[in-house]
Structure 1
Amino acid sequence: MSSDANTKRAPAKPEQPYRMIFEQDVAVPVSDGLVLRANVFRPDAEGRFPVVMAQGVYGKDLHFEDGFKAQWDQLIAVYPDLCGNGSTGKYLRWETADPERWVPDGFVIVQVDSRGAGKSPGYLDPRSPREITDYYDAIEWAARQPWSNGRIGLLGISYYAVTQWRVATLQPPHLAAMCPWEGYVDYYRDSTHHGGILSSGFANYWWPKQCLAVQHGNAKSPHRERGTGRRINGDESLSEGKLEANRTDYIADILRHNLDSAWWRERTPVLSRIEVPLFSAGNWGGAGMHLRGNIEGYLGAGSKDKWLSLHAGKHWESFYLPEYVAMQKRFFNHFLRGDDNGWDKEPRVKLVIRDPRGDKFRTAAGFPPPDTRMERFYLDAVTGGLASASPSQEATASYEAMSEGVSFSTAPFERDTEFTGFVSAKLWVSSSTNDMDLFAVLRAFDERGQELVINGAHEASPVSRGWLRVSHRRLDADKSNANRVFHAHDEIEKLTPDEVYEIDVEIWPTTMVFPKGYRLVLTLMGKDFEFPGIAGRILHQHPGDRGRAEFLGTNRIFTGGGRASYLMLPAAYPATR
């Protein structure tokens, strides 16, 4: 953090909240001569104030409700005072802070349209190195403004969290703290290729509906500013040819780079380079999107001062709830304003523990919690069981890849049993073809045999999910450890049909209390798991990736004897089967 004149403390908080000044489309010059556009919300008072920023592709002038009506309605149902008690909701934007909740407390809120999106011209290339360089430049621009105290914080969900991890590795001199809320870290593993299998949602939904619709100069954009009726992506109207020339071919990029490579690594942060104070907030229900990244980011960041909070509920929900906004403000008040508010004494890890009877809360010194014990639950193809002892006899469970697969169940738990932390599976498998996609699902069933359907971050969710394309089975030995496995995803090793292979499957971290009488079930299949009658959103159905006969074979799971397959679960004391 710079020690120049811009780092003066903000004026003391007044007896009455600050009134707000709104400046729209403020010019933000960047290093290659392009000018981005930003909205600035600041106190109507003299002085220098801490700045909280976000930069992204979703359009700084698109109202949350206009762009994401279904999610807005769900948020209002949970938090009916979202547009009340201090906020009109006029400036609410998807996945960014509500200025009317922050400016009265003496913060400046800056929201920047990324290059090629909204009101910012240029080449639209989400998450590219150039976009992150622009973010660096925008942070340093904000630090120089007369209303800034030179201490810049970053805050936002999803895209607005992902870019935080990236720009922090560039170490902007005036970046003083960051709060990535439900935002992935590893672009390949966390987002687009789960276990090496292409996640089709980004190609089918995110790119056309959330990016191209707000591309700068797209005259066909359906989105308008409230009040003025102006397009939220600028007054310039570009031809289809110019629009295409002004953007990357995102879908082709993803399909072309099917293995982890330099292309992905230059879009993924080197976490050890992050040194600023960090408050990482993840969602247990975010398997397939953001959960893994918030945990990996917390563990890998080089920051001396770092905290992890793991919550439940919808992806966009917690960020706006008063108790979480209060946490965000305490964090930033401490590191951007220098308030001695006790944040530095907060437990480093805060966990919502999911329980079908009502969620619980506890803290820990680290993640996974120090009292966690990794326990093996062995699969038995004869009984369909999961138990502490490995079957003495080898057996095989077979299933057609596109069927509902095979399931293995614990006996009903004799008392309440909690699992919190990393999960993995060691499996012996074969396929009748030369490749195999494995979808691993952790499920919970009550004493009546009714399955628990969790209100996940993005969709109805089981306890957790894992994936592996078996031709990607090679591990990265340097990054794998006793708690979890890490696949290299840098080469393809096809299978010999019907030959047996020993593999490790990463299942995303989870927390769940299984009440007495509940059972844990592991389901293995060759397609996406979906609850009956509930369509999934995070799916793997792109024909360019999954539309080959090699993923339609007969798969086999071997158990017992010399081929003992098992599930590795993080048991909290006491763990009882």
Structure 2
Amino acid sequence: MRRTTRLLRKGAVIGVFVVLASTVPAGALPSSTASAGFPKANSRTGLPDGWNPEPEIYGVGETKNVEIPMADGVVLRADVRYPTEASGAPAPGPFPIVLTQTAYGKDSAGFLRLLSYEGIGPMLEQALPSVIDVAKQITDAAGYGDYFVKRGYISVIVDIRGTGSSNGHWSILQPQEREDSKRIVEWAAALPNSTGAIGLWGLSYLGMSELLTAGVLAPGSPIKALFPLMPGNHAFQDLLGHDGFLNIAFLASMLAVPITALPQLDPILGLYRQPDKMVSVFVDHLLTHFRDDGTWPSVISALLDGDKLYNGPYWESRAIDNVLEQIAANDIPTYLISGQYDLLQDGTPRTFAGLQNAYAGRGRHGPMPADAPSSGRFQLLTGPWFHIQPGIQRTTGDLDMHAIQLAWFDRWLKNDRNGIDETDTPLHAIDINGNVIESATYPVREAPARRLYLQAGGGLSSAQPTQTTGSDRVDFNPVSAGTICNASFSRNFSGVFQLLTSLIGVDDPCGQFPAHPNLPPLVANPVYTTAAFTEPTVLAGPIGATLFAVSSTPASAFSVTVQDIAPDGTATALTDGQLAGNYRALDENRTWRAADGSVQGAFHPGTRESLLPVIPGEVTEYHLKVRPAFHVLQPGHRLQVTLGTGDMPTHILNPKDYPALLGGSYEVQRNAAAASFLTVPLTSAVPDPS
């Protein structure tokens, strides 16, 4: 991804958007390039030109359960894996360190390692290749780092407080973890045979932890690079509270195994040879489940309208968004991995924009300005990937995520000027068909936000309605024909369906189904569709849905899906968004607006104090955050939006609000006085209806 490569790709429709932006009038692509091919992703996508990962040079030695005492006496435990010579002796080094802080148990990863990379894994690889591949992917996701050890790194994986083989009590992203991390970093930097330079990495919670760690360290710390995968931006907004809709699918994916079973299993796996310590850790973890800030009490409290159902100091103290300025001030290069089928698909790109803004001295909360320069020190790679399996997608081909990470760490921990940071387009996106989309900014400046208005008869176009009256009725239905086989559930269930179907070598068949199919007369959700596109058109970035509606009840709820409609009528789900009507207040400091002032990236405070009443019979303005999409709409395809009111079983609303919601209906306005519309980032104008 060197700068010279970007210049060579200027003839493509996608690749270096800046040429099109500077030479093509807004709303059209030249006919000479409209039929051009798109760069396609392959196994080398994301790697610097001419660079290849070093071969495996070293063996692997291990020191298990190294104890790290915290300031309050709680003992954390870490496994240290280091390069060895052929004789088994430690290699001379010194070596930099890759460090993972995990909430899911280092010994679970070790057990999976024996089932995949070692032990019976190699013996079963020929007979059950898909099964072993999935076991390796889970092992990697859990922080297993021997790929790097064999290429000259020391790998450290630490069980954070109250998890794995570590003592203490756990609460999601608790501030105490950052205090612990300061001591962990200091301890790791002083490991024998190390250079003292550390790179942090990890997926999901592990990635969140590394960003929060980097955000509390002083300048000049041993942390020299970050590689967070699927970390999001704001845990409450990204994971739990989808603007008044509680994410039940995510909770269901986490509560049984990661939250309840693993904390009790891991002490047995890691400390069975030290029964006294095993019992001590086991009891600590067991008692965590009964603490006020434990997960189960918190979930029950939220369902009973407790404070954790709302944003506030508890959640803000756990928000990555609030440490981005410190990471940028510390000048810690960060390579973010996101997924368009990830439940954190909105938050991770926001973190990219926040880091770029903060590094340039702008406020972290807003979108990147369209004319903003960008730095290759902060990059984002996103693709059609689910939460647990970044880089894995059989229809487009897998990326070598290990190699991309190695190139990043080699650049910043070994001073290998391999070119991975030498790019003018640090945002890299891959769509479901393998098309590569790149830009300098997020939102993507080459895909300006356009208003598409809801029209009579189900049209969707740039023509603002002129009639004095006109509306479409939406009846409240908590289900909206939702099932567990649709894109919304697949994504929010943490990609578990994709993980399971990968065992037989296929992609999740539910992942492309829109969440709101119509089943007349049971469910009749309004549908609005553009005319067919006449040239390849890129949809890239966040989408806003501005609805003017009249509710018949003192509560309202909206759920929006966006899909690509092929000429044969096949629908491919692209993205979705939800909003409970009383959550409609905007945090203007964090809300993203397009150049014309329309809301492109709504941020609703989500606090109890910010809730607004819904007044029956009055026209009310709602701004829905529709999570971003990166997708090339081919000629003949149409963009479609469906309006619903529920998304069960993926989401539920606050249980106490259902009495006010049941029996309700909403008249969604589409007239000159109140014209509902989408704010959509597109590279070309939507054709007028024929």
- TM-score normalised by length of structure 2: 0.70
The answer to which of 121-130 and 41-50 deviates more is 41-50
CA distance in 2, matches of 1:342, 1:319: 21
1:307 aligned residue: 379
Check 1:224–1:412 CA distance in 2 against 1; reply closer, same or farther (3 A cut).
farther
- Partner of 2:503 in structure 1? none
C-alpha distance after superposition, 1:206-265 (max 9, x if no partner) = 1332112122xx3xx49964998999x945453997454567332443512233211111
- Written as runs of structure 1 = structure 2, the 5 A alignment for 1:520-539 is 520-528=639-647, 539=650
Aligned position for 2:46: none
Residues 230 and 191 of structure 1: CA distance in aligned 2, closer, same or farther (over 3 Å): farther
Partner of 2:327: 274
Flag structure 2 segments of 5+ consecutive residues without an equivalent. 1-52, 85-90, 116-120, 360-374, 393-397, 481-522, 595-599
Provide the residue aligned with 2:350 in structure 1. Answer: 296
- Mapped to 2, the partners of 1:314 and 1:477 lie a distance apart of 31
1:386 aligned residue: 460
Instruction: Give the corresponding residue for 1:479.
Output: 590
Distance change >3 Å, CA 94–CA 548, structure 1 → 2: farther
What secondary structure sits across from 1:426 in the alignment?
strand
Percent identical? 24
The residue type paired with residue 371 of structure 1 is E
1:100 Cα deviation after fit: 2.5
Secondary structure of residue in 2 paired with 1:145 = coil
Q: Write the distance in 2 (CA, Å) between the matches of 1:472 and 1:17.
A: 56
1:398 aligns with 2:470: no
| Partner residue in 1 for 2:371 | none
Deviations 1:335-375 (A, max 9, x none): 111112122313442433425xx321132222233212211
Is 1:374 aligned to 2:419, yes or no? no
1:211 matched to 2:265? The reply is no
Contact 1:444 1:521 in 2 (8 A): yes
Superposed, 1:64-463 pairs within 5 Å as 80=129, 93=139, 95-171=141-217, 173-215=221-263, 218=264, 221=265, 225=269, 234-236=278-280, 237-238=282-283, 242=287, 244-245=289-290, 248-253=293-298, 255=302, 256=306, 257-269=308-320, 270=322, 271-275=324-328, 276-286=332-342, 289-301=343-355, 302-303=358-359, 305-318=377-390, 323-354=400-431, 358-380=433-455, 382-393=456-467, 394-402=469-477, 403=480, 404=523, 405-452=525-572, 462-463=573-574
Deviations 1:103-157 (A, max 9, x none): 0111111111121111111112121101222223212210111132111111111
> Which range moved further: 493-502 or 477-486?
477-486
Deviations, residues 395-432 of structure 1 (Å, cap 9, x unaligned): 11112211442211112223332211121011101222
The gaps in structure 1 that reach 5 residues or longer are 1-12, 453-461, 530-535
Matched, 1:492 2:532: no
Distance 1:368 1:119 in 2: 42
Alignment RMSD (CA, Å) = 3.3
Distance 1:322 1:187, change over 3 A: closer
Query: Given the superposition, is the C-alpha separation of residues 280 and 399 from structure 1 closer, same or farther in structure 2, using an over 3 Å criterion?
Result: same
Report the Cα offset of residue 14 of structure 1.
9.6
Identify if the C-alpha distance between structure 1 residues 576 and 137 changes in structure 2 by more than 3 Å, giving closer, same or farther.
farther
Q: 1 CA distance for matches of 2:62 and 2:545? A: 53
What amino acid sits opposite 2:555 in the alignment? D
Distance 1:252 1:495, change over 3 A: farther
- Separation in 1 of the partners of 2:169 and 2:611? 33
Give the partner amino acid of 2:73. Answer: G
Corresponding residue for 2:502?
none
> What is aligned with 2:513?
none
Aligned residues: 528
- SS state at 2:139 partner: coil
Distance in 2 separating the partners of 1:204 and 1:39: 30
What TM-score does the superposition give when structure 1 sets the normalisation length?
A: 0.83
Q: CA deviation at 1:541?
A: 2.7
Q: Distance in 1 between matches of 2:656 and 2:102?
A: 28
For 2:266 and 2:149, the matched residues in 1 are separated by 30
Query: Does the 8 A contact of 1:162 with 1:180 survive in 2?
Result: yes
Aligned residue for 2:346, secondary structure, equals helix
- Distance in 2 (alpha carbons) for counterparts of 1:550 and 1:395: 24
Cα distance, 1:109–1:547 mapped onto 2, change above 3 Å: farther
SS at match of 2:682: strand
Instruction: Confirm or deny: 8 A CA contact 2:551 2:667 kept in the other structure.
Output: yes
CA distance in 1, matches of 2:234, 2:241: 10
* Cα contact 2:189–2:196 (8 A) shared by 1: yes
Distance in 2 (CA, whole Å) between partners of 1:561 and 1:91 is 53
Q: CA deviation at 1:391?
A: 2.2
* Alpha-carbon distance in structure 2 between the residues aligned to 1:386 and 1:396: 14
Structure 1's 279 and 82: CA in aligned 2 closer, same or farther, altered over 3 A? farther
Query: 1:234 and 1:348 mapped to 2: Cα distance?
Result: 50
